[in-house]
Structure 1
Amino acid sequence: MSSSDGKINPAAIYHNYCSVCHGDKGDGNSRARGSLNPPPRDFTSPTASQLTRDYMIAIVKGGKAGTAMVGWQSQMNQKEIEAVVDYVRANFMPANISNDMNRGRLVYAKNCSVCHGDKGDGRSRAQASLNPPPRDFTAPAAKTDLSKERMLKSVTYGRPETAMAGFQTQLSADDINAVVDYIRSSFMGMTSIEGISGTRHGKGSPAPGAHGMPGVGMAGAMAMSPQHTPAKSLSADMKAPLPHSLKGDAVKGAAFYMSNCATCHGTTGDGRGPRAYFIMPKPRNFLHPASRQELNRVALFNAISSGKLGTEMPAWDKVLTQQEIADVAEFVFQRFIQPPAGTGKQAKIK
């Protein structure tokens, strides 16, 4: 994802394409984690340091067989792929002093992790011996308490009545600035993601606007917002059965939907789940008239199965059986797409 001036924003790329599985902090703790086997890679684990840059670039480009990791070479160019890999390596992966030249991360690994922990959460071997305990940079209070100026002063001069010593004699001003930026970016979530809603979907295509998104097929319907619905579309056959002679169980599908899909599509199917604010294009609003014209059981089954590249809609056929996908599709169809005739209300699934 490039900004209007042509500069690549790797933080925005990671947020829009990778965080749905790998988590906002790169640790694999995402909503999708419990449903993916094998689980998403935890870039913060010690074993992640064994991943070479070239290997990671190859995986991002071509995907990885036997996992839900798909290839992104049709969505991102080479420089964007390299940028997001470098972002992951610089912000999430443990520092490897022998071959890693990221300045702030190396300073942190050599001087700070002994107390504040490898993940910045204060969970270190020294934690039990320090009173007060080391600062947890991942806690919400860190964002409100710690300005960059205060952090620079703390690293330079230390903190009174704590074990935090000053580093002005050991570190240069540039090193102190670099380690503070690293902590704020990697642990406190202060990385700039300006322009995050301008994700480009499809090589060479413009960022999606409010009046259309060309080239989106039915398989990706769930991930499209109403304003991205093609201007000309035929009403689908709402009597068409599920593929493969499957019969969906809406009750079972409801349980899975509420645990995994509602975070984006909302508990009421309106596309306003808790993650929806951060997603572009917005999750599909199943209650919109266009949805009720286009999303029959077949379209829902295909969208859940295949996902949609360039959106946060994953391919669930990597982890669910066809029957489980049919159950979710049936629930969405009965609950949101075709409520009881004449009532205009959603069907109640008990």
Structure 2
Amino acid sequence: MSRRRSRALAALAALGAAWLLTGCGQEQPVHAAVRGAAPAVPVSAEVLEQGRKVWNYRCYFCHGYSGDAKTLATSYLDPKPRDFTQVSGDTLTYERMMSALKDGRPGTAMKSFVGIISPQDMHAVTEFVRHEFMRNKAVNTQYHTAENGWPNHERNAVAFPFARGDIAIDTPWDKLDETQQKGKRLFMTACITCHDHGRVETPGTVWESRAVSYPRDAYCTSCHQDVPRSAPQGAAHPQRPATHTFSEPDGSVPVRKPHAGDPVAQTFLVHDKAPAMKNPSAKELRGEHLFQKNCAFCHAADGTSKSWIGSFLEPHPRDLTSSDEMKGMTRERLARSISQGLPGTSMPAWNGVMPKEDIDALVAYIAKAFHPVPN
């Protein structure tokens, strides 16, 4: 994994479950515990359940449903998200945790949640983490439930050792028994989509893919398929029982490619295409390569920020094509924003990832492809 790709992904994962952000909490009067002092009374079951809801909605993407940071985001981020099951309440105090929620943690993907969740929710999720993961080492909500669209997930148990990392995914086939071979096939054809590569003995070359700005297969990216109403197969989707399936009984997953009728594709496809440039210079072409590889994930390939991710980030990434949002912009100011980042946003500093000539190439490309930027 290149540092460049890692930092780009960190900008997204900084929001935890920011793919689903919908609004801000309103400030309300709160007691001393919410303002930062440790609570003096036992926490109620209602507060803990509210904290669970916040955690399952905002925090699991990086820290995991059970607080152990065994997530795909963890494999990308440096430093990695905190594993709350490995720390004690004496070491990681209530005050420090509240401070992290309010102020973020500089140098990490943990950003401030002020304006995203209320002080009450910060208090609730802090107490939930301390009670559930740090003190009781409890297993929280499981993702693969019938409510989440995974009925009878235990039928896939042969693949679990590969998902958990008990068996390395690159174990030679002749070293696996018949059941393990079946589990590996299931993992490789279905589970690997979300579980990344599991555990491997020899990592080899890290695979790289172009950033996509929206789910390619509507909301069911890569894992599921639509089938004719007359021929339902596999396990039915709870919201679309007559037409939608997850996988065949043997674990194979025929992936349906998106088509022009997909509602998500209709909305975001237009913004996933880079604009054509007339007579670009070598510098501008270099900037195009850098932008589409690193910046399009948030700013969209066409620079409008009207991408799947851009629509959920708060504040929204700058629309580089907008005269209003680019008003007063100079090449020096744009280069400084790219180099140093923008505090209070998901725009990271790229000066430790890109050399100055690459940042200059990005500025040249933005000025050429999206909006004129004077010197």
TM range (shorter): 0.3 to 0.5
- TM-score with structure 1 length normalisation? 0.44
